């Protein structure tokens, strides 16, 4: 599911639209999203979704237009098994995927539940191979055994997920991908597990992997945000040839989190004119549901879903409020947000005029300065915004 954004709702720089930038993207098919909020996202410290919350989130993700939902890792607990079973049986529009290590018992858990699509992972960097007590040979054997077992037992689609791809020896990484495909893997994931790959290197690596696996094997990108580059790296991956971006709602996950799929979708559409399969008008509601279930709040200035993206306190900015494109990079309609004026220390006369009109208050022009003085004083004294009720009281007293 996608929702096209009208060009007249996007107010970005013309410098983005040069041929040398836009020609590097393949627009023949939209970028699609594989959401791992219910598994990788839940690895955020202190977050624990109930089966009911996981089901609710899955429903919201499907409505958002997520192509694939990773339902979870059933071997973690009975609750996770129950959540996966319920999500599988819900008839959602999104494809439901399961997560599995390259371990037959993990695969069996999905076979028993009736999961038809499974992501199978194992570490491929020498550092992590050593940490797990594996060898390169044992990694190849585990990949062979797990994928063969999955395909022999009715799993329709297997995505091979090479953990720590970006720190792996490229010769060995090619061997592992080749082995996975020979055993029946239908897709591969390139994984920046520790978030250590620059966007330029991501684009180059995706191109390299594409040359190994050929045009018929879809490539996924899975990146983390340890250097604040997850969105930029996801865009670079698309430029390099990735057709699927994996990530989470609100960018949640271990350490600095994963790529935020809604941020990536917004950037691809508005900055690069790249078609995506996601309905951003549902992003803010989905974000709130996940925040509530996870017991946390995102910053008010967070892209796409922040509470204050379209809220104006500064007088200099409020003075331009009637021309949205002068103070905003894209229309609030794209993310179904409300534009509003608030009052506080930084407000100006335009705030007083606009807030008065919003609340139906008649504030003569010669009284606005007096009202503003009291608003600024109250906001400064209490170090917070002035409420609408307090504003009504000030207007009644001054006017």
**pLDDT tens per residue across span 306-348:** 999 999 999 999 999 999 999 999 999 999 999 999 999 999 9
| Per-residue pLDDT tens over the stretch 300-315 | 999 999 999 999 999 9
Mean per-residue pLDDT, 76-84? 91
Strand 157-163 to 117-123 pairing? parallel
Closest-CA residue to 164 (of 138, 137, 132): 132
Closest-CA residue to 62 (of 34, 102, 84): 34
Check: CB of residue 210 under 8 Å from CB of residue 240. yes
Q: Which domains does the chain have, with CATH numbers?
A: 7-294 (3.20.20.70), 311-398 (no CATH)
* Helix H or strand E segment including 85: helix 78-88
CB atoms within 10 A of CB 329: 16
Task: Report DSSP state, residue 9.
Answer: G
| Per-residue pLDDT tens over the stretch 231-247 | 999 999 999 999 999 99
Cα separation of 20 and 179, whole Å?
37
| Per-residue pLDDT tens over the stretch 150-207 | 999 999 999 999 999 999 999 999 999 999 999 999 999 999 999 999 999 999 999 9
pLDDT value at residue 2: 53
Closest-CA residue to 313 (of 361, 351, 339, 349): 351
Which tokens sit at 109?
């858990």
Cα separation of 176 and 174, whole Å?
5
Q: List strand residue ranges (DSSP E) for 126-279, in order.
A: 157-163, 187-192, 219-223, 244-247
The pTM for the full model equals 0.94
HSE, CB side, 13 Å, CA atoms: give it for residue 160. Answer: 33
């Amino acid at each position: 599911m996608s929702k096209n954004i009208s060009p007249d709702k996007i107010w970005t720089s013309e410098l983005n639209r040069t041929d040398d930038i836009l020609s590097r993207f393949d627009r023949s098919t939209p970028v699609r999203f594989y959401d791992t909020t219910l598994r990788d996202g839940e690895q955020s410290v202190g977050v624990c979704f109930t089966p009911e919350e996981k089901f609710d989130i899955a429903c919201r993700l499907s409505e958002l237009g997520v192509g694939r939902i990773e339902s979870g890792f059933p071997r973690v607990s009975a609750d996770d098994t129950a959540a996966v079973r319920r999500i599988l049986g819900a008839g959602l529009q999104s494809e439901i995927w399961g997560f599995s290590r390259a371990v037959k018992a993990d695969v069996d858990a999905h076979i028993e539940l009736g999961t038809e699509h499974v992501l199978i992972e194992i570490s491929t960097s020498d550092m992590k191979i050593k940490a797990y007590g594996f060898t390169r040979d044992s990694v190849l054997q585990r990949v062979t055994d797990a994928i063969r077992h999955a395909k022999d037992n009715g799993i329709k689609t297997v995505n091979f997920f090479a953990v720590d791809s970006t720190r792996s020896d490229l010769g060995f990484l090619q061997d592992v991908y080749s082995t996975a495909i020979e055993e029946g893997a239908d897709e591969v994931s390139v994984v920046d597990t520790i978030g250590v790959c620059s966007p330029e290197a991501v684009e180059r690596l995706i191109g390299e992997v594409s040359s190994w696996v050929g045009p018929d094997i879809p490539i996924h990108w899975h990146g983390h945000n340890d250097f604040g580059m997850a969105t930029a790296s996801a865009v670079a991956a698309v430029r390099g040839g990735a057709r699927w971006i994996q990530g989470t709602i609100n960018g949640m996950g271990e350490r600095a989190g994963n790529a935020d799929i809604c941020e990536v979708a917004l950037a691809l559409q508005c900055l690069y004119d790249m078609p995506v399969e996601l309905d951003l008008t549902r992003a803010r509601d989905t974000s709130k549901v996940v925040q509530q279930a996870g017991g946390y709040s995102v910053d008010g200035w967070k892209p796409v879903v922040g509470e204050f993206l379209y809220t104006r306190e500064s007088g200099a900015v409020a003075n331009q409020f009637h021309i949205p494109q002068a103070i905003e990079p894209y229309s609030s309609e794209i993310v179904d947000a409300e534009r509003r004026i608030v009052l506080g220390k930084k407000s100006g006369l335009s705030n007083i005029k606009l807030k008065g009109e919003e609340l139906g208050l008649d504030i003569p022009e010669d009284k606005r300065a007096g009202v503003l003085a009291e608003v600024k004083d109250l906001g400064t004294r209490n170090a917070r915004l002035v409420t609408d009720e307090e504003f009504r009281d000030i207007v009644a007293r001054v006017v």
